[in-house]
Structure 1
Amino acid sequence: MWTKHHKKRKLGRFVIPAMTVAFLSYFGYHCIHGDYGLRATETFEHQRVAREKELAILKAKREHLENQVALLSDGSLDKDMLDEKARYQLNMSRADEIVIFNHYSN
């Protein structure tokens, strides 16, 4: 008795591998170039490092200002600091003085 066999198509063996390649290509591309991919992570890391540097600068500036405020507080009024700030704000000095302005002193 003869049975009819279906002839295997050559195209049929490539369907599953082609879908697998398409699937892996899609997700592989988005792993690198997507919103949370490797390039975005690298950009976030650069921003984090830059903001840490900015934070360190702002902390140093805040400490400097806190020290100046502490010198001008009621309990420990430093007369030299008071004199320096008054002269700077009023833009006055004596004739026998040399004034050098430092932009970090305000």
Structure 2
Amino acid sequence: MERVGRISRGLGQAWLTGLWFFLIAYFAVHAFQGDNSLSALKELEKQAVLLKAEADDVALQRERLTHRTELLGGKVVDPDILEEQVRVRLGFTHPDEVILLLK
């Protein structure tokens, strides 16, 4: 009878140990795979860096456009900006000029 008691206690402890191994393996697998894993976190960090760079480019473009708008819309219009706009809209050029319009 003693031997049966020791075996049953050993099975109970083995079952508990197996449960712990299963839980550890379960969480380890999900830590490295899936939507909320460490690799997904690295991808999100890369995407954040790219989006930050794009946001900086857009902010710089906005700053340039704001500056050009201020030059055209103030009480005194900048003659160079006005001439550039007239040439673009009406197609005027001097005979000795070559105009390259870049977008």
1:11-39 Cα offsets, whole Å, 9 max, x none, are 71421221111100111111222322211
RMSD of equivalent CA atoms? 2.0
Deviation at 1:89, TM superposition (A): 2.3
Shift of 1:10: 9.3
Which of structure 1's runs of 4+ aligned residues deviate more than 2 A?
89-92, 100-103
Corresponding position of 1:69: 69
Distance in structure 2 (CA, Å) of the matches to 1:79 and 1:56: 30
TM superposition score normalised by structure 2: 0.83
Greater fraction of residues in helix: 2
- Aligned residues of 1:70 and 1:76 also touching (Cα < 8 A): no
Q: How many residues align?
A: 100
> What whole-Å deviation, never above 9, does each CA across 1:38-62 have from its counterpart, x for those lacking one?
1111111011000000001001100
Match of residue 58 from structure 1: 58
TM-score (norm: length of structure 1): 0.81
Distance (whole Å) between structure 2 residues aligned to residue 96 and residue 21 of structure 1: 84
Which residue of 1 is the match for residue 2 of structure 2?
Answer: 5
Gaps of 5+ in 2: none
| 1:74, distance to aligned residue in structure 2 (A) | 3.1
Structure 1 vs Structure 2: percent identity of aligned residues?
Answer: 24
- 1:22 equivalenced with 2:60 (yes/no): no
